[in-house]
Structure 1
Amino acid sequence: MTRRFAIGLVVGKFAPLHLGHEWLIRQAQAQCEQLVLLSWSRPERAGCEPERRANWLRIRFPELRSWVVTPEWVARQRAQGLALPDLPDESEPDAVQRQFVADFCLAVLGQSVDAVFTSEAYGEGFAAHLSRCFGRAVQHVEIDRARTQVPVSGTRLRADIHGLREYLAPLVYADFVERIALLGGESTGKSSLAAALAEALGTRHAAEYGRELWEEQGGVLGYDDLLRIGRTQVAREGELAGQCRRYLVCDTTPLTTLFYCRELFGRAEVELEQLAERHYHHLFLCADDFPFVQDGTRQDETFRRRQNQWYEQELTRRGWPFTRLTGSLQQRIEQVLHSLSGT
């Protein structure tokens, strides 16, 4: 089927990339043989850094050519001989913004475009400026300017990202979910706390894959299994994050896997060491302040104490702030909620 335009362009901050942007892009894509996405934001918006925006576009539109441009990117292109002006700040006049797009098309794409797609009042003036720069007509195609299809804006989303999360694709929203990590030795109530805390917060929890694999394999783990556990735990967090509400409760982290790998085999793969550096927004260490319960799979109370000491030493050595949880299950839930509230 012949499409209306050979090459089209969508320009936006995509901070964040929401379903309104996605609707616009899909409508433009249906009308173009090729569609190019161009994004920049000066100043940058917290939580919508260039790397994140580039990843969102790559995940949601892998078939399209997209650029997320920064001053550093412009400097690299200039060093390679491309004629590009400075990346405009959003406070600069419209003509400066539009000229950058025109220069980008000629220098980076090596050609003009046939159409620009927007949901904004500035679209006609934008297309007229590009037409003058290219010496040929560039058409403006307006898509849902009234935002009846997806009634949201980036400004509204940034003000209430969790309350308006239904306007984000799950893989985009996942980047705004705060991960709560629970650490603790054997028989410190960690798994019970993870499930109960997720319920209290109205969200999901990532169960401990290492325990599942250990049971599946009859209590035997090989050296290679430990890296598999670390990878799978991280992947599980990624799969669940987009289904959460503000928080994801993590029943263990790759730091735990690293402990067991060193304990069982006296060494660990570099990749597992790197996974153990994974960032969590909130770290809690479950104290060993109640009687040890032997369920037939655990070692003993001495091991539990040594494990908890190792966690405390490692968290301190790495400079990672954490909160120690004590008392009953309900008391620990209250301590977490108190910490999250910042009071």
Structure 2
Amino acid sequence: MTTGMVLGKFLPPHLGHAYLIDFARHYVDDLTVVVGTLAAEPIPGIKRWQWMREMFGGTGTKVVHLDQELPQDPSEHPEFWRLWENALRPLIPERLDYVFASENYGWKLAEVLGAQFVQVDLDRSVMPVSGTKVRENPLAHWDYLPPCVRSHFVRRVCVFGPESTGKSTLAKDLANHFQSIAVPEYARTLIESQQGRIEAGDIVRIARGQTASEDALARAANRVLFCDTDLLLTTIWSEWLFDDCPDEVRSRANQRTYDLYLLTDVDVPWVKDQVRYLPADRRNFFDRCESKLKEQNRRYIVVRGSWEERFQTAVGAVEAMSLNP
């Protein structure tokens, strides 16, 4: 039985890594992928290890996490290669036949481990991408990112504001325009199932449903995910209807941020339905929404005017956001 190893930071994983690992696992009978990470790196090591397990765990490949604080270049420590050998030995087969890599360090690493080096796409002619390029401009290299990784880099736009101001329609129209996905308002789904009734105990359910839907759809988004409301708006509604908000929802609302908020003004006709409550208070609610965005230092613009004017304003803001993160 032949054995092999791939070592990488996978910062983040991309299709170049996928090609390397697929090549290796078809070359040998038993492949180990070592995800080597440092605490100071911009994407948590545990997340990268989980991504790699999701991508390759079902293929029979062993994916292990090496999180020791090791030197990253031979110039950093006189015992560089000994330190790496000692760290890798417990994680790899006792008899290692091949080391696969798309970097020149593979020659020396294979020698240290008593294995043969198999180079794969050293010049990046097959997969012209690198982790550095992805981190510098993930949207430009979107097609090289696996779905699980895309959810980390996707830009999130929240359509935010009072009821009956076209939020759902705007989110859907933007998603169609940018060939992406709109996350529906979970509160509407829940309240409609209760024939228009809402109680204080529903707020946590609404918050959990909203975030679950958003995180599930983030993987399928095309660079930008459009969200019809968020947890910050849920806190405003909870305070407005029940004079309070659960701590869990407040905490989660503070933790979740978006690249851009589109705050919809109330200069459009009110349309009655069973999940709308404030026909006479939309202006006050708008002011509350804007105050909350300012208080939280969220990036936002106000969209107003005709439906077409709103759409064009929103499209321009999203395009500007994509070019100038």
SS at match of 1:276: helix
1:332 is aligned to 310
Contact 1:88 1:100 (8 Å CA) reproduced: no
Which of the residues 15, 25, 36 maps onto 2:11?
A: 15
Contact 1:28 1:35 (8 Å CA) reproduced: no
Q: Percent identity between the aligned chains? A: 31
Contact 2:15 2:127 (8 Å CA) reproduced: yes
Change beyond 3 A, Cα 1:264–1:87: same
1:300 is aligned to 278
Which of the residues 191, 205, 230 maps onto 1:228?
A: 205
Deviation digits for residues 270-298 of structure 1 (CA, Å, limit 9, x no counterpart): 22112212111111211112332223542
Cα root mean square deviation, aligned:
3.4
Contact 2:170 2:311 (8 Å CA) reproduced: yes
> Which amino acid in 2 is paired with 1:116?
V
2:292 is aligned to 314
* Deviation, structure 1 residue 110: 10
2:20 pairs with 1:24: yes
Which of the residues 276, 281, 301 maps onto 1:323?
A: 301
Change beyond 3 A, Cα 1:185–1:243: same
Contact 1:9 1:113 (8 Å CA) reproduced: no
> Which amino acid in 2 is paired with 1:56?
W
Contact 1:105 1:111 (8 Å CA) reproduced: no
2:35 pairs with 1:38: yes
2:106 is aligned to 123
* Deviation, structure 1 residue 51: 5.8
* Deviation, structure 1 residue 327: 1.0
SS at match of 1:279: coil
Change beyond 3 A, Cα 1:126–1:204: same
Q: How does 1:58-77 map to 2 (within 5 A)?
A: 58-61=53-56, 64-67=62-65, 69=67, 74=69
* Deviation, structure 1 residue 330: 1.8
Change beyond 3 A, Cα 1:312–1:19: same
* Deviation, structure 1 residue 268: 3.0
Which of the residues 43, 52, 66 maps onto 1:57?
A: 52
Deviation digits for residues 191-210 of structure 1 (CA, Å, limit 9, x no counterpart): 11111122222321111111
Partner Cα separation in structure 2 for residue 263 and residue 61 of structure 1: 47
1:254 is aligned to 231
* Deviation, structure 1 residue 222: 3.7
Segments of structure 2 that go 5 or more residues without pairing to the other structure are none
Contact 2:158 2:258 (8 Å CA) reproduced: yes
Partner Cα separation in structure 1 for residue 229 and residue 95 of structure 2: 51
Q: How does 1:1-343 map to 2 (within 5 A)?
A: 3-5=1-3, 8-26=4-22, 28=24, 31=28, 35-40=32-37, 44=41, 48=43, 50=45, 52-61=47-56, 64-67=62-65, 69=67, 74=69, 87-88=71-72, 92=75, 98-105=81-88, 114=96, 115-128=98-111, 130-131=112-113, 137-143=114-120, 150=127, 152-158=129-135, 161-277=138-254, 278-340=256-318, 341=320
Q: What is the aligned residue count?
A: 315
> Which amino acid in 1 is paired with 2:2?
R
Contact 1:180 1:250 (8 Å CA) reproduced: yes
What is the TM-score with the length of structure 1 in the denominator?
A: 0.77
SS at match of 1:260: helix
